[in-house]
A = this chain, B = another copy of it.
Amino acid sequence: MDKNTAIEKGLELVQRAKVVMLASGGEDGYPNIRAMLKIHTDSLHLVWFSTNTSSEKIKHFLKDPRACVYFMDSQTFEGLTLTGDVEVCRDIETKKRFWVEGFEIYYPQGVNDSDYSILKFKSKNGKYYHGLNIISFDIKDVPLFE
């Protein structure tokens, strides 16, 4: 499989994924994985998440922005690993942009809830897995628009 096909397959995988794994550097430098809902992606360049400002992962990313996101389809044995950096966004424009109806369950005060934050993950590198194949690529080789 060539790099362009891997990138195309990776984009398709991201489109159909509902759940994403997110790893932070964690405390004491131990990596830490948790499942997150995918709220929005821009090509493979940016992955957006919402989270509680009080959550442990916010503390992790403010201390060390290095992160990894992983998309998987266990039916087709495909996986996509992206490594990059997370920025914690608390400005009202970003919070409004990604507000989803029903978020009131998590953030009762709505878009202005101080416990509502957005994580902006910016990719640097990607690795597409299919069965025993692994194809690595630089995010610069991925088109910005799908």
Binding site for B on A (CB under 8 A): 19, 21, 23-26, 28-35, 64, 66-70, 72, 74, 79, 81, 83-84, 106, 124, 129, 132
Contacts and interface: CB of A to CB of B under 8 A. Distances in A.
A74 B73 CA distance: 12
B19 A21 contact: no
B83 A34 contact: no
A72 B18 CA distance: 14
Contacts of A74: 19, 35
Copies in the complex: 2
Nearest to A105: B132
B21 A31 contact: no
Contact of A34 (B69, B81, B124): B81
A50 to B, nearest CB: 13
Given A19-B74, A74-B19, A25 B31 contact: yes
Nearest to A124: B30
Residue from A67, A81, A84 having most chain B Cβ neighbours under 10 A: A81
A23 B66 CA distance: 13
